[in-house]
Structure 1
Amino acid sequence: MAALAVLALSGAGAARAAGADGDGGDGPSLSWSAFGTAGYAVSDRAWRYQRFVDDGGTFKRDTVLGAQVDLQLTPQWSATLQPRLAPATRNDTRWDLTAAWAFAAWRPNNDWLLRVGKLRVPFMLRSAQLDVGQTYDEARVPTEVYSLLPASDFTGAHLSRNWSRGGGELALDLYHGDSPLVNRNRVWLREPSLGAAPAVMFSDLEITVTGAVLSWNTPDLSARAGVHHTRVRNADGSGLLVRPRWVDLGGGAGYWQTRGAGLERVSNSNNVALTLGAEAQLGGGWRLAAEWLRIIPRELEMGMSSTSAYLTAYRSWSALTAYATVAAIHPGSGPLKWVQQLETTTVPGSVQDASALNASMRARADIVPLFRQRSLALGASYALSPTSKLKAEWLHTHAQGSQFMDVPAGQGLLQPRRVNVLSVSYSFAF
């Protein structure tokens, strides 16, 4: 895969040279750019946090390599391809080379832009440049907001309209498309079945995304607000569980049935996501950024339901920028209630198959998308040049139920946990 990435970069460079030899008029031209981050992270816990980070250290959490090739056919028509090498979304041990962006664009004038193909969902302030670490100062964007987004990329259409207003620009983005997350929905199972060792499960999901985003940009302020709708379904066509069913075994005993016949299921789960964010220059080297995300499930009582936000303060001295971030996620009542029910209900050992029934409830609790945590990050970046940065960060996270943590077998999901993560990275873009 690394060799393929090198070939993609060298091919893009050749394309740029070919374009540069053109006549420089309105004819076709090619240009290219490249970006990447080499990042190392280590924690003080043996279990993994944010999929890869433990006390053994890892380069997988933040490392990425990519390139972008832009073909300008006419002043109105263009095309973009962005190959990207990063840890696989469907396997914890592999790396994948994928096309993060692959779209054609039509710009009839400076106010309108239509793009069709594979694109990035314009959810948050840094959505478009998530992979280009050189464009922001944090070692990584706050997990409490950006890792909860229903989808990052989609294949469809994206229409933008801009208006110049005084010293700023107002923009409206409308988009619609599909985001097939086949084998990308990762769940850590403490006990997949009776007596089995902890394991990772990747479920096959498909998501349709539709949304509208309004942005305001001036030299000192960027603000964005959006309303997004997602429709989630299993790729194999099987239904999604609305809620477990209580089975009374008599004598005061019972259990929550989570699989098999007799359960209420729906073919699609509809969700609404509301986003709000702003970044402001305050003068004197100070800057503030804050974003808020609310996810509301419509049908599933155990579906993703959360409110999350972060606030980051920056202080810059020439090439050095220090920052502090506070972030938090609060779950909705649905997932929290069901995890509590599934974790605390126990079938007495005198009941036939009691161990298997208890294991089934714990496994379903692992699948519920529960996120309840808060974090503090202190870090700094140093611009080695206009196109490269060194970064370092200390992160402290406290949680009482978080799917970002691979909980060891035999431990409760709602048990309080703390983790400290040290990260260093080098990012470039040219």
Structure 2
Amino acid sequence: MSQKNAADMPIKIPNIGLLAVLAALALPAQAVDLTWSGFATAGLAFSDKPYTYQRFIDERGTFKRDSIFGAQLDARLSQQWSATVQAKVAPSDHSDSDWQASLAWAFVSWRPSDDWLFRAGKIRLPMMLNTENHDVGSTFDFARLPQEVYSMSPLTDIVGLGVSKTWFGESMDWIAEAYAGKVKTYWRYYGREMTPDQHSAGSWFLSYDFKSSGLVLTARSLDNTFRLGAHRVEITREGGKIGRPIVNLGGVYQFGDGGDEKVIVPLITAGASVMLPANVRLMGEYAWLKVDSSSEGLNRWGAYLSLSKRIGVWTPYVYYATAKSRDSALQKYQRINSNVVPAPYAASQKFMADIISPYDQSTAALGTSYRLTSSSLIKTEWSQVNTGVASSLVDAPSGGDSANKRINVFSMSYNVTF
């Protein structure tokens, strides 16, 4: 990172979430037990293609896709009260060229008894099995979490309230978690021929306001975990409507009239991690969401299934993942993408097709982690991505599209907590 970039790095601070934490830390120093910790991943990834996959990965190689650094401060105020602040440096969520320092967590916790927990501030959502720890690479063996599933949710944290209740059992604990809150975040689009601001290929980011609530049930034993969640997301955009339809007027696809002030997005998540005989771990997750917007391809489902086995300090694994938009969205993308119009309108038709944001891809991955110490590991992985109709995880090359691509991705990373 250059000195100029470091100086210009934006810092995102959720004022509401941080306020409660700062108030808690204002207690006399002798009353607060402070604990520092940190985590980091240095990751290299490259593919066998000149165009980019997952924002950064191409044949030139990149450290931006997986690298991250974070630090966490835990303040124990009493037996019932504590506060947590976690900051991280990672690639920006609204620029493909910048890095960004931000607060991932900033909340106060109250545990009146062993079975109840209340949190207020900026909290990570209990969605997929690894959503809450997805920044900490040393806590899972995959080189990166399967994006067919982990890119599904439009958000991973909120500023709000969370409550959980645990029922302790002899062989299995049951946990019910509920949350509600809001956050402003960005959604990335990529135009292979043009963007809203320029007649050339590139990405752009739109800011949205999210309100989210949900209920998640988890059953956990020493070896097994099962999770099921139902979430409701309300999306608005300041100064604009959401969901303007893309219509064919005179043979040219363009935005029509209409749209809504807000869009309601239902999201269903499910996952399981089970220990099989011979210490083989089976893990699978599924997510489904529905979005009524111009980007009809966001209506999709994603799933993966993996097998892994720890052999000494090695944990080899294999997984297969897939994601697919609903058929009507893929068919609409194909109609727009193949629409033949006079030259002045050609780029606009590719732009409209890209707005659909289609997903139709699968990934097969083979990798391993090597545990150096109890808090650090090295990971390597080869994965092959195959696209069908199109995939918005691929930045399609100008003059082409993302259909029927086969992309080999090679990854290596060092992951540590301290």
* TM-score (structure 1 length as normaliser): 0.87
The equivalent position to 1:127 in structure 2, one of 109, 127, 131, is 131
Task: Indicate how the Cα distance of structure 1 residues 154 and 320 shifts in structure 2: closer, same or farther if over 3 A, else same.
Answer: same
Question: Quick one: which amino acid aligns to residue 189 of structure 1?
Answer: G
The reply on whether 1:158 has 2:162 as its aligned counterpart is yes
Once residues 322 and 88 of structure 2 are traced to their aligned partners in structure 1, the CA distance between those partners, rounded to angstroms, is: 30
The reply on whether 1:108 has 2:112 as its aligned counterpart is yes
Query: How far 1:423 sits from its partner (Å)?
Result: 0.3
The reply on whether 1:208 has 2:196 as its aligned counterpart is no
Report the counterpart of residue 220 of structure 2 in structure 1. Answer: 217
Matches within 5 A, 1:181-192: 181=185, 184-192=186-194
Report the counterpart of residue 412 of structure 1 in structure 2. Answer: 401
Q: Could you say what secondary structure the match of 2:336 adopts?
A: helix
Task: Indicate how the Cα distance of structure 1 residues 57 and 299 shifts in structure 2: closer, same or farther if over 3 A, else same.
Answer: closer
Report the counterpart of residue 424 of structure 1 in structure 2. Answer: 412
Q: Deviation string for 1:130-175 (max 9, x for gaps)?
A: 0111111111110110012121111111111111122111001101
Once residues 281 and 295 of structure 2 are traced to their aligned partners in structure 1, the CA distance between those partners, rounded to angstroms, is: 40
Q: Could you say what secondary structure the match of 1:284 adopts?
A: helix
Report the counterpart of residue 88 of structure 1 in structure 2. Answer: 92
Q: Deviation string for 1:293-338 (max 9, x for gaps)?
A: 1112256672621111000100111111100010001211342132
Aligned residues: 393
Structure 2 spans left out of the alignment, 5+ residues: 10-28
Task: Indicate how the Cα distance of structure 1 residues 366 and 404 shifts in structure 2: closer, same or farther if over 3 A, else same.
Answer: same
Structure 1 spans left out of the alignment, 5+ residues: 6-21, 249-253, 350-354
Matches within 5 A, 1:366-385: 366-385=354-373
Question: Quick one: which amino acid aligns to residue 325 of structure 2?
Answer: P
Work out whether residues 240 and 268 of structure 1, in 8 Å CA contact, stay in contact via their aligned partners in 2: yes
The equivalent position to 1:46 in structure 2, one of 43, 50, 73, is 50
Question: Quick one: which amino acid aligns to residue 89 of structure 2?
Answer: L
Work out whether residues 241 and 263 of structure 1, in 8 Å CA contact, stay in contact via their aligned partners in 2: no
Work out whether residues 318 and 364 of structure 2, in 8 Å CA contact, stay in contact via their aligned partners in 1: yes
Report the counterpart of residue 32 of structure 1 in structure 2. Answer: 36
* TM-score (structure 2 length as normaliser): 0.90
Once residues 328 and 393 of structure 2 are traced to their aligned partners in structure 1, the CA distance between those partners, rounded to angstroms, is: 18
Work out whether residues 269 and 300 of structure 1, in 8 Å CA contact, stay in contact via their aligned partners in 2: no
The equivalent position to 1:358 in structure 2, one of 330, 338, 346, is 346
Question: Quick one: which amino acid aligns to residue 80 of structure 2?
Answer: Q
Once residues 73 and 166 of structure 1 are traced to their aligned partners in structure 2, the CA distance between those partners, rounded to angstroms, is: 31
Report the counterpart of residue 300 of structure 2 in structure 1. Answer: 306
Question: Quick one: which amino acid aligns to residue 252 of structure 2?
Answer: Y
The reply on whether 1:171 has 2:152 as its aligned counterpart is no
Query: How far 1:421 sits from its partner (Å)?
Result: 0.6
Task: Indicate how the Cα distance of structure 1 residues 343 and 144 shifts in structure 2: closer, same or farther if over 3 A, else same.
Answer: same
Question: Quick one: which amino acid aligns to residue 407 of structure 1?
Answer: A
Work out whether residues 193 and 359 of structure 1, in 8 Å CA contact, stay in contact via their aligned partners in 2: no
What percentage of aligned pairs have identical amino acids?
Answer: 34
Question: Quick one: which amino acid aligns to residue 351 of structure 2?
Answer: A
Work out whether residues 388 and 429 of structure 1, in 8 Å CA contact, stay in contact via their aligned partners in 2: yes
Q: Deviation string for 1:66-101 (max 9, x for gaps)?
A: 011001111111110001011111111111111000
In terms of mean alpha carbon deviation, does 336-345 or 101-110 score higher? Answer: 336-345
CA RMSD of aligned residues (A): 2.0
Question: Quick one: which amino acid aligns to residue 377 of structure 1?
Answer: A
Query: How far 1:356 sits from its partner (Å)?
Result: 3.5
Larger Rg: 1
The reply on whether 1:233 has 2:227 as its aligned counterpart is no
Q: Deviation string for 1:97-120 (max 9, x for gaps)?
A: 110000111111111111111111
Report the counterpart of residue 336 of structure 1 in structure 2. Answer: 330
Q: Could you say what secondary structure the match of 1:265 adopts?
A: coil
Report the counterpart of residue 374 of structure 2 in structure 1. Answer: 386
Query: How far 1:242 sits from its partner (Å)?
Result: 3.7
In terms of mean alpha carbon deviation, does 204-213 or 337-346 score higher? Answer: 337-346
Once residues 118 and 8 of structure 2 are traced to their aligned partners in structure 1, the CA distance between those partners, rounded to angstroms, is: 30
Once residues 88 and 301 of structure 1 are traced to their aligned partners in structure 2, the CA distance between those partners, rounded to angstroms, is: 22
